[in-house]
Amino acid sequence: MSSASRRNAGFQPELRKNIVTREWVIIAKGRGKRPSDLRRDADPQEDPPQYDSKCPFCPGNEGKTPPEVFALRDGGKPNSRGWSVRVVPNKFAALRADGSDALRSVGIYSARDGFGAHEVIIESPEHNKDLWEMDTEHIEGVVEAYRQRYLAYEVAESLRHVLIFRNHGPKAGTSLVHPHTQLIAGPVLPHQVHLELLGAGHYWEYLGKCVFCDILDYELSSGERAVFESDHFVVVTAFAGRYPFETWVIPKRHSIRFADMSEEEASDFASVLKEVLRRIALCLGRPSYNYAIHSAPTTDYNVRAYHWHLEIYPRITTLGGFELGSDIYINVISPEDAAKALREVGSE
Amino acid sequence: MSSASRRNAGFQPELRKNIVTREWVIIAKGRGKRPSDLRRDADPQEDPPQYDSKCPFCPGNEGKTPPEVFALRDGGKPNSRGWSVRVVPNKFAALRADGSDALRSVGIYSARDGFGAHEVIIESPEHNKDLWEMDTEHIEGVVEAYRQRYLAYEVAESLRHVLIFRNHGPKAGTSLVHPHTQLIAGPVLPHQVHLELLGAGHYWEYLGKCVFCDILDYELSSGERAVFESDHFVVVTAFAGRYPFETWVIPKRHSIRFADMSEEEASDFASVLKEVLRRIALCLGRPSYNYAIHSAPTTDYNVRAYHWHLEIYPRITTLGGFELGSDIYINVISPEDAAKALREVGSE
């Protein structure tokens, strides 16, 4: 452990395993110091300005973030103005680059250092734009940043998984208005991805084909939940979606990893992302939402049955004790009605 | 199907299985008509009155709910004033008593009717009290209502599980201020309970003992996460808690089902519930919270390794895309710090 990290040793995040369910949880005390945490009532800016001099992600404030690890720039030195997309380590990281990779016992329990990476992909110099309001060419740059940073962690031997996710709006856990995506690379497989891998693996073994490819075929032929398709992607509402208007973007080509997209596919993905987010914003009145890219684990796993995709979760309802206590979600809008609304808004 | 139910046939809820992860979701369109759903900003009453003439759960408005299925009464006829605790079917039920028990195919997917029960346990005639503000004797009546309604569904052959849960406050998914608990009995095992059963079963097979009994022993000896104990219960913060201040109430006696409590244990449980909710309210400034009673499935399962308990989830942070996309939760307060705060507030 370096002396710099020893100074912050009190904040070393910890991964802890639930001894009953075996699910991992991150205990990250340091994150409690973020201004948005533990505030009982969110205080979202209803109509944020294009530039906010206090925002650490706005141009001119590059010194307020840790040094950048990637940027698309027209000019200027690193950590100065001139960027269009900029990636920095998260100052309030849920996982940190230092720490041991060893599992340890805490009495009857298991834990390990919160080892990994947590980055912020600042999507635009403009403070107040949602991703879909940017030009397609600009979104292509954001997707390129996703790809580059995904690849940077995929090779790390001690990391098992990279999750790229986005929070937009006060009901989606956003701590800063400025448009950004986050990347967390960790040493354990997320339970949700584990369940998908297991399910896709069994489907492949029993039926000899990919469950996501079957979803594509079935949804395109039935049409009930299909929203639109492009050359390389299909957009559908999820048959058993947990959230109202839960929408998936699935590549037509069977491909296990997000970063395996060709340049043409990546460009198509950017325009599909713009279009689906635009439609959700129009349908639901610019709701809070999250999305996450589900991609195969980075190392040593039989993943041929997997098929990467993007899941979008609009946050227009509040989870209650039934969802938290059972993991069965109640979705109050049928996916067929949601798909119909998303299709109809397309022509506007 | 009765003619009454046929009139509402459009609202028959549906259970749908995620074809990849095999998790069940409830699609319940009718619930979208609740006033609180789909409203983008909750409008909680900051300081609700003791009586609200518009509240369907306040005395005098018994006709605004479906007829009661259980009540503790000093007098009065059913569905009139005079009750202290009253149980009614949920008017906006997530599951309904009618419908078929058969699994059906929807193309490549599986679904079944949203068959089951959804009840509301109205805890008090008073509109504005949280549960812990009621007398212990009154809470004993609430616990008795839990037990009676749990038992009513435990015998139903077509139902696999009964979940009793409580939502308090705007961030916890509460639709009505009036103090109440809900019960949902359904034909499928919730994923969270399935995971606990699997984990507890493996622990029992490998080690020959109950994982929850081990948690009790270890937490009482270590003291780090113990909050307090009574004759029959131990209150601890969860070692790998998903939520800040996530707190579990575990019976000392190895007991698989909630309804197996003796009268003495039930009375003790009522006072423990009051005390732990009081401490959480004092520590966190009356936060929104949920709780859920995890109890063994109702039918034909090898459940000897299970150990029922209550889980309390304060809702002081907002879930983001990382939690939704990975099922790994980031908890910004260490369970040890939370337990210390909950111990210290006890002497106030």
Say if B176 is an interface residue toward chain A (CB within 8 Å).
no
Contact across the interface for A325 and B291, Cβ inside 8 Å:
yes
Residue A175 confidence class, pLDDT cut points 50, 70, 90: confident
| A227 lies in the same domain as A322 | yes
**pLDDT reading at A303 higher than 90:** no
Identify whether residues B175 and B289 lie together within a single domain.
no
Mark whether A177 and A277 lie in a shared domain: no
* Position with higher pLDDT, A303 vs B319: B319
Final residue belonging to a domain, choices B135, B165, B190: B190
Least CB–CB distance from B328: residue in A25, A174, A285: A25
What band does A109 get if pLDDT is binned at 50, 70 and 90? very high
Give residue-wise pLDDT tens across range B111-159. Answer: 999 999 999 999 999 999 999 999 999 999 999 999 999 999 987 778 8
Same domain? For B155 and B198 the reply is no
Q: Can you give the pLDDT at residue B133? A: 97
For A37, which of B170, B173, B332 is closest by C-beta distance? Answer: B332
CA distance B170 to chain A (A): 8
- Contacts (Cβ under 8 Å, ≥6 apart) of A195: B20, B21, B22, B23, B327
Over the stretch A285-302, which tens digit does the pLDDT of each residue have? 999 999 999 999 876 556
Total number of domains in chain A = 2
- Phi, psi torsion values for A96, nearest 5 degrees: -125, 155
Q: What is the CATH number of the domain that holds A177?
A: 3.30.428.10
- Looking at residue A47, its pLDDT comes to 82
Cα dihedral: A303, A307, A309, A314 (round 10): -90
User: Which residue type, as a one-letter code, is found at position B28?
Assistant: A
Determine contact, residues A127/A177, Cβ cutoff 8 Å.
Answer: yes
Backbone phi and psi for residue B151, each to the nearest 5 degrees, phi listed first: -65, -35
Residue-wise pLDDT for A244-261, tens only, equals 999 999 999 999 999 999
Q: Do B155 and B182 fall within a single domain? A: yes
Q: Is the per-residue pLDDT at A147 higher than 50?
A: yes
* Distance between first and last Cα of chain A: 57
For residue A7, is it within any domain? Answer: no
Flag whether residue A204 sits within 8 Å of chain B, measured between CB atoms. no
pTM: 0.93
- In the structure encoding, which two tokens stand for residue A96, read together? 């940190």
Residue A41 is assigned to a structural domain of this protein:
no
Confidence of residue B241 (pLDDT cuts 50, 70, 90): very high
Of residues A5 and B109, more confidence is placed in: B109
Q: Which of B144, B170, B190 is the last residue of a domain?
A: B190
What's the pLDDT at A40?
Answer: 37
Instruction: Report how far residue A170's alpha carbon sits from residue A177's, in angstroms, rounded to the nearest whole number.
Output: 9
Inform me whether the pLDDT recorded for A228 exceeds 70: yes
Output b/e per residue, B188-221; b: 16+ Cβ within 10 A: bbbbbbbbbbebbbebbeeeeebbbbbbbebbee
Cβ contact (<8 Å) for B290 and A325? yes
DSSP character string of B275-309: HHHHHHHHHHTS--EEEEEE---SSS---TT---E
User: Distance, in angstroms, between A291 CA and closest chain B CA?
Assistant: 6
Chain B nearest-CA distance from A51, in A, is: 25
* Amino acid letter for position A130: D
Inform me whether the pLDDT recorded for A10 exceeds 70. no
Instruction: For helices B263-284 and B136-154, give the axis angle rounded to 10 degrees.
Output: 120
Distance CA B219, CA B199 (A): 19
Instruction: Find out whether A313 and A246 touch, Cβ atoms under 8 Å.
Output: yes
Residue A7 has pLDDT above 60, yes or no: no
pLDDT tens, residue by residue, B247-275: 999 999 999 999 999 999 999 999 999 99
Nearest 5°: the CA angle A249, A253, A254 is 95
Q: Which residues of chain A have a CB within 8 Å of the CB of B240?
A: 16-19, 23-25, 27, 109
What contacts A72, CB < 8 A, 6 or more positions away?
A83, A84, A85, A86, A141, A144, A145
Closest Cα partner for B182 from B160, B167, B169, B161? B167
- Compute the average pLDDT of residues A119-139: 97
Do residue A61 and residue A139 come from a single domain?
yes
Do B200 and B338 reside in the same domain of the chain? yes
Are residue A180 and residue A108 in the same domain, yes or no? yes
Domain of A213 in residue numbering reads as 192-347
Quick one: B223 exposed, middle or buried, by C-beta within 10 A (0-12, 13-18, 19+)? exposed
pLDDT in tens, B285-342: 999 999 999 999 876 566 889 999 999 999 999 999 999 999 999 999 999 999 999 9
Phi, then psi, of B221 in degrees rounded to 5: -80, -40
What pLDDT is stored for residue A347 in this prediction?
67
| Whole-number pLDDT of residue B31 | 61
Burial class (CB in 10 A: 0-12, 13-18, 19+), B266: middle
Percent of chain A, pLDDT > 70? 90
Identify the residue with better confidence: A201 or B37.
Answer: A201
Model ipTM value: 0.91
Q: How confident is the model at residue B32 (pLDDT cuts 50, 70, 90)?
A: low
Is there a domain that residue A1 lies in? no
* A253 lies in the same domain as A268: yes
CA dist., res. B146 & res. B295, Å (int): 12
**Residues B239, B327 within the same domain:** yes
**Which pLDDT belongs to residue A2?**
35
Asked if residue A6 belongs to a domain, the reply is no
Give a yes or no: residue A37 inside a domain.
Answer: no
Same domain assignment for residues B27 and B107: yes
Whether residues B206 and B281 share a domain: the answer is yes
- Among the listed residues B159, B25, B147, the one whose alpha carbon sits nearest the alpha carbon of residue B94: B25
Instruction: Judge whether A3 lies within some domain.
Output: no
Residues in A 150-169 with any Cβ partner in B closer than 8 A: 163, 165-167
Of B159, B175, B190, the domain-final residue? B190
Active site includes A180?
Answer: yes
